[in-house]
Amino acid sequence: MKRLIAYSLIATIIFSVTVGNTPALSQSKASGLPMAKPEEVGMSSERLARVRVAMQRYVDKGLVPGVVTLVARRGKVVHLEAIGSRDVENKQPMTTDTIVRMASMTKPIASVALMMLYEEGHFLLGDPIAKFLPEFTNMKVAVPATGDDRIGVPYKLVPAARPITFKHVLTHTAGFANSYRGITLPEFTKNFQQARKPNDTIGDAVKRLAMLPLNFHPGDAWEYGNATDVVGRLVEVISGMTLDEYLQKKIFEPLKMTDTHFYLPQSKLNRFAAVYQPDEKNGSKIKLLEAPTAESRYVKEPHVYFSGAGGLVSTAADYVRFHQMMLNGGELYGARILGRKTVELMTANHTGNLP
């Protein structure tokens, strides 16, 4: 929970959307989103009013400084509201256009980018990623040491039973070392997280990840982690663009996601939220982790590290555009991002009963 609070969105975005044909839309001046009265799309104004009351409890208890909530149905936004503060120290209120760190909500966008390249025929889901990232050739898996192994060895290495495929990295079944569990955790901390340098690119980070042993054989289990950094790097290698360039050109511009960036322009700092974490010495209260200033790592240069696993900043309005595109079967504003059958493929269960 601590990690979730520290790295998740300050703004909580709540979506309740039904796919369907959308008639002529009225536009909100504030967000540019199609708006409707709740009753026009089969929802209740009275019951939606409970959202603010519930979110206010989180603010009053000191669990979060502020919240943005957005509810939409049938392509229409029926509730968009902000409460609390985006910057407690400077007494700045949360607004519906506040820009927040998207953290792992970056992952669906990076994954869509790779599937756009899949639609262009660059690879099959069963292809080894080593076809484009040779550093992932001949991977090793860490397995617990036995009594026959040298004393003090935390694990031993065995060859991976099969290559890492595109499907593995898109479904978190590749077995990559990660930041929260597994016998490779110390090596991940030292050789991936702590080894990062100021001018590193995601390509540098992915090469370091490839040097670490896997936690299990690809396809044998499910474990959440940095796989989507590899997804983002694959987008770069296959497209010949940085992940930043690809997302801007192929997704953000067509979907009118004008406030979504890897690095926030300083001209938008007046809408940037601070980020907080639990205060261990003060019960359930929070304390400042990073101020919304030009010194934030999401603002300051060098602008060279584009993490598909958690690098974007955005707004509730921008992110609902992305999700409405998916709910529409891959299209929004006349811009087709994905084919309908690809969206169906992406939203099917590909991990079955894996542990």
**DSSP, residue by residue, 178-220:** -SSSSTTHHHHIIIIITT--TT--HHHHHHHHHTSPBSS-TTS
Phi, psi at residue 66, to the nearest 5°?
A: -165, 165
3-state secondary structure (DSSP) of residue 289: strand
Provide mean pLDDT across the span 206-225.
96
Among candidate residues 58, 104, 156, 300, the one labeled active-site is 104
Active site residue 37: no
pLDDT at 12 over 50: no
- Residue 221: count other Cβ atoms within 10 Å of its Cβ: 14
pLDDT of residue 7: 27
Active site residue 197: no
As beta bridge partners, residue 99 has 272
Q: Which residue has the tokens 């998207």?
A: 102
Provide mean pLDDT across the span 137-142.
97
179 vs 111, which has greater pLDDT?
A: 111
Lowest mean pLDDT among 103-112, 114-123, 177-186: 177-186
pLDDT of residue 18: 35
Contact 14, 51 (CB under 8 A): yes
Question: What does each C-alpha distance from 281 to 278, 285, 287, 340, 349 come to in angstroms?
Answer: 9, 9, 10, 50, 42
d(CA 262, CA 260): 7
Among candidate residues 58, 224, 256, 268, the one labeled active-site is 224
pLDDT of residue 32: 85
Active site residue 224: yes
C-alpha dihedral, 222 to 330 to 303 to 100, nearest 10°: -80
pLDDT at 15 over 50: no
Among candidate residues 107, 131, 167, 250, the one labeled active-site is 107
pLDDT at 134 over 90: yes
